[in-house]
């Protein structure tokens, strides 16, 4: 069976390009709760519950607000929750830069956050120059992963078919719609490997897997 060429390496941002232990997403979670408490006038326990329901039902708190609370300005929300000092949580990762440089595919970021947050994170890590594009939540019309419509828009924007792409994510539920569209899926830092193509302990380990996948496709071609 002949297989298509790989062209795009698509990365989730948060807790994929830096480890969960950095604590950055935890702090963003605290700010999401605080936003809901202050802007929807909710007690803390109800804000926490609402955030959980939005996450389960809509993918993200942002998507929940967009769908259920047209009175809330999504831009004000996004600015508020990402307004923190990144250098307190993450730092330069030269080894990651070297790894990205060594992989001959076009790299893009696909994030439920904003392009501003993504640029700030990439700058602190020192890998901003490695990415051809950042597809943020605005560019897919405030639709959040894992809604399949977000992935369809992503493919449209970069001009690719699913089977030309690898998606790298720390959340298994965000990989499943990608797999359904034909993308090769790599899960970082999780044991929940049953439904994805590859599982790796950390981001630096994706290089081997990507090389294996590229080889697999080359072999597929020669076999006709
Ligand atoms: Mg993530």
pLDDT tens digits, 68-116: 999 999 999 999 999 999 999 999 999 999 999 999 999 999 999 999 9
174 CA distance to ligand 1 middle (Å): 9
Q: Which residues contact 93 (CB under 8 A, 6 or more apart)?
A: 17, 18, 125, 126, 127
DSSP characters for the chain?
---PPP-EEEE--TTTSS-GGG-HHHHHHHHHHHHHHHHTT--HHHHHHHHHHHHHHHSSHHHHHHHH-TTS-HHHHHHHHT-S-GGGT----HHHHHHHHHS-SEEEEE-SS-HHHHHHHHHHHT-GGG-SEEE-TTTTTTPPTTSHHHHHHHHHHHT--GGGEEEEES-HHHHHHHHHTT-EEEEES-S--TTSSEEESSGGGHHHHHHHHHHHHHHHHHT-
* Whether the model pTM is above 0.85: yes
Every domain range in the chain assigned CATH 1.10.150.450: 24-86
221 CA distance to ligand 1 middle (Å): 33
The sign of the torsion formed by the CA atoms of 166, 150, 118, 191 equals negative
Q: Which two tokens stand for residue 176?
A: 């499943």
104 CA distance to ligand 1 middle (Å): 23
Residue-level pLDDT at 3: 62
> Distance between CA atoms of 128 and 131, rounded to whole angstroms?
6
169 CA distance to ligand 1 middle (Å): 6
> Each residue's pLDDT tens digit in the chain (224 positions)?
446 899 999 999 999 999 999 999 999 999 999 999 999 999 999 999 999 999 999 999 999 999 999 999 999 999 999 999 999 999 999 999 999 999 999 999 999 999 999 999 999 999 999 999 999 999 999 999 999 999 999 999 999 999 999 999 999 999 999 999 999 999 999 888 999 999 999 999 999 999 999 999 988 766 55
Domain 8-20+92-222: CATH class, spelled out? alpha beta
Residue-level pLDDT at 191: 82
Is the CATH number 1.10.150.450 carried by domain 24-86? yes
Residue-level pLDDT at 1: 44
6 CA distance to ligand 1 middle (Å): 23
Angle, helix 172-180 to helix 148-158, in steps of 10 degrees: 60
193 CA distance to ligand 1 middle (Å): 16
Residue-level pLDDT at 2: 47
Judge contact between 136 and 37, C-beta under 8 A: no
Every domain range in the chain assigned CATH 3.40.50.1000: 8-20+92-222
* Residue 30: other Cβ atoms inside 10 A: 12
| Closest to 32 (Cα-Cα) out of 4, 6, 62, 53 | 62
CA angle 66, 69, 75 (to 5 degrees): 50
């Amino acid at each position: 069976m002949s297989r298509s060429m790989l062209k795009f390496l698509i990365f989730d941002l948060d807790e994929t390009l830096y480890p969960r232990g950095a604590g950055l997403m935890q702090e963003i979670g605290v700010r999401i709760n605080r936003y809901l408490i202050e802007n929807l006038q909710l007690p803390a326990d109800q804000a926490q519950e609402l955030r959980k329901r939005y996450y389960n039902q809509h993918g993200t708190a942002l998507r929940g607000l967009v769908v259920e609370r047209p009175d809330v300005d999504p831009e004000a929300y996004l600015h508020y929750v990402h307004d923190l000092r990144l250098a307190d949580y993450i730092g330069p990762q030269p080894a990651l830069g070297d790894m990205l440089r060594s992989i001959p595919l076009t790299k893009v970021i696909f994030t439920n956050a904003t392009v501003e947050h993504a640029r700030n994170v990439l700058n602190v890590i020192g890998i901003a120059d490695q990415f051809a594009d950042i597809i943020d939540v605005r560019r897919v019309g405030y639709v959040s992963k894992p809604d399949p419509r977000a992935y369809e828009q992503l493919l449209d924007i970069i001009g690719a078919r699913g089977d030309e792409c690898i998606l790298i994510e720390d959340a298994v539920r965000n990989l499943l719609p990608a797999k359904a569209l034909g993308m090769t899926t790599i899960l970082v830092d999780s044991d929940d490997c049953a439904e994805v193509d590859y599982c790796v302990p950390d981001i630096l380990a994706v290089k081997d897997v990507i090389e294996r996948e590229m080889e697999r496709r080359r072999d597929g071609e020669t076999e006709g």
